[in-house]
Structures are given as C-alpha cells and as structure tokens.
Amino acid sequence: MKISYSDNYKNKAKLAFKNDFKVDNDLAMPKITKVCINSGIGRILTTNEGNADNLVKDLSEKLTRITGQKPKVCKAKKSIAGFKLREGSVVGLNVTLRGRKMNDFIDRIINITLPRTRDFWGIERKNFDKTGNLTIGVREMNAFPELSLDIIKIPFGVEITFATNTNSKEKSIKLFEELGFPLKPINSSKK
C-alpha cells in the first residue's frame, strides 16, 4: 500500500525540515498550498467549429472526472485575427484544488498517473520556478485512470502547477523529494 501525501508530510517532510533547515514553528513549514490544473482548448475548438458547445461540455466533463471539481471556462478578452480568435470565445479550462481534494489529487498523481505516463523517467528539476512552484505537463489523458479509452475521443493535455508557500527553489525541491514526487536525480537533469 502506498503512503498518502498527508502521511508523508506529517511523518517525513516536517521532520526533515526541522533537522535540515532548523524550522521549529509548524506554521512556517513549507507545504503545498494549492494545485492549479489548466487546459488550453482553443485549438481543438477552432478545428471543430460546428460543435464547439458540445466539445466544451465534453472536455469540461472529462476534467471534472479527473479533478473532482467543475472547471472554470476561460474566455478570450480580446480578438486577435492572426490566431483566428474572437472576443468571448472559449480558450481554456481551469481548476484550482485546495484542502482534501488537493491531497487526493496529489496522491493519485504520485502513485497512479505519473507511473502510467508513457516514457516517464522522472520530473525535471528545471520545472521548478525561482519561488519554488512546480509545473508539469501531461500530454495524454489515458494516463489518468478516471478516463477510459472509450471516453477519450479528442485527446487533450493539461498543465499542473503545484504552488508552495516557500520562497526558495532548494526548500521546494527538498519538500517534493520528501513527499515522494519522482524527481530526476541531479546528474541526469543536466542533459
């Protein structure tokens, strides 16, 4: 049985930060504050203009199955002729998870989804930004166990951002290592 995110955080990560970074206050401990899942669907909608409303509903339903929360539909703020974009047309879907839903999603990402991803050798360390947030992309939806191949008619990808309350990249990398995220070793990320 896999250890859950909350158990890893309580048992391993907090102890590691108390020892390595001398953080005594529990409220000052680094932690994941939210998970943002984004999907750009503008290109899919422009190629299938006839049934755009049905596609938005279908893709929104699939993202709801993955996250357990209904996504926000993002619309274009202004028209751009070069991209065949009109003001008010749907360009993406967005979900922000916090609390119990976030913990469940992190457990599924670590233990099920990432190991099922094709040609996955670990998360690159360059995916961390300077403030300690981690962003990964999942190109294929068949890695998520909630979606079967029968349901996926139009493939689409998602971008997942794990926002932390740390202010340094080093603390964030240590946090994700202690939580059990499959990060690539330091030597292999330089290639």
| Band of residue 25 on the pLDDT scale cut at 50, 70, 90 | confident
Mean predicted lDDT score pLDDT of the chain: 80
**Model confidence at 66: pLDDT above 70:** yes
The residue extents of the domains of the chain are 5-41+59-71+97-182
Let me know: does 123 contact 182? Beta carbons within 8 Å: yes
Which three-class secondary structure state does DSSP give residue 118? coil
> Tokens 């951002």 — which residue?
161
Lowest-confidence segment of 27-31, 96-100, 109-113, 178-182 by average pLDDT = 27-31
What's the CATH superfamily of 5-41+59-71+97-182?
Ribosomal protein L5 (3.30.1440.10)
Phi-psi label, residue 6: left if phi above 0, alpha if psi -120 to 50, beta otherwise: alpha
134-138/90-97 β-pairing: unpaired
Please give the pLDDT value at position 189: 46
The maximal CA–CA distance of the chain, rounded, in angstroms, is 59
What are the tens digits of pLDDT across the range 31-43? 889 999 998 877 7
pTM of the model: 0.81
